[in-house]
Amino acid sequence: MADLSNLRFDDSGLIPAIVQDAGTREVLMVAYMNADAVERTLAGPDVWLFSRSRNELWHKGETSGNFLRVVEVRLDCDGDALLVLADPAGPACHTGNRTCFFGDPLAGPAGTASGKAGGTTASVLDQLYRVIEQRKIERPEGSYTAKLFADGTPRIAQKVVEEAGEVAIAAVARDGGNTGEEVADLLYHTLVLMAATGVDPAEVWAELEKRRK
């Protein structure tokens, strides 16, 4: 049995749990756990929660199949909140969205980049990278991404060069709509090359952060 002596449960015997995607660090949901849910989560492999509305233990994904596979559990400095890093097997939100925080921001700094699909640009690219990595491992039949990995890194690198050329041609031709599509192709093939060579997107975001001058 896990040692829960450092956890500070509230008067109802619950502790808030923030569930975060272990790969992208995107916050997926905020829920509560009782002692039983904490012990089951620590034992793995899945996240367990406590439903306040149903007043019962909740095995996340038991009905939908969208399980949250436990990667790591952290306790905050006051001992009254948990951070659960998990690998989602599907949408975390009951609405079918990947995260429960998919709505428009209530407030934020001017110029904050947010995608129309409800996520930041980096978040969208992180999610795409995760899909690409899955294709690299699973190699599903009929997948273009899987075929690229089968062709090897030199071919993927060649595609990046080709797509970069297409972007330049579209830009010079002042074809705005086509340029956007070509940039998307370039970003996609670049992510495939990153996955093929083991480059973590976090390294790229960190490097870009240094250039915000």
DSSP 46-69: B-EEEETTTTEEEETTTTTS--EE
* d(C-alpha 135, C-alpha 196), whole Å: 11
Domain ranges of the chain: 15-88, 121-210
Contact 122, 115 (CB under 8 A): no
Please list the residues that pair with 96 across neighbouring strands.
none
CATH number for region 15-88: 3.10.20.810
Q: Which CATH code is given to the segment(s) 121-210?
A: 1.10.287.1080
Digit-coded pLDDT (tens) for 144-198: 999 999 999 999 999 999 999 999 999 998 866 688 899 999 999 999 999 999 9
Whether the domain at 15-88 and the domain at 121-210 fall into the same CATH topology: no
Q: Does pLDDT of 38 surpass 70?
A: yes
Is the pLDDT at 31 greater than 90? The verdict is yes
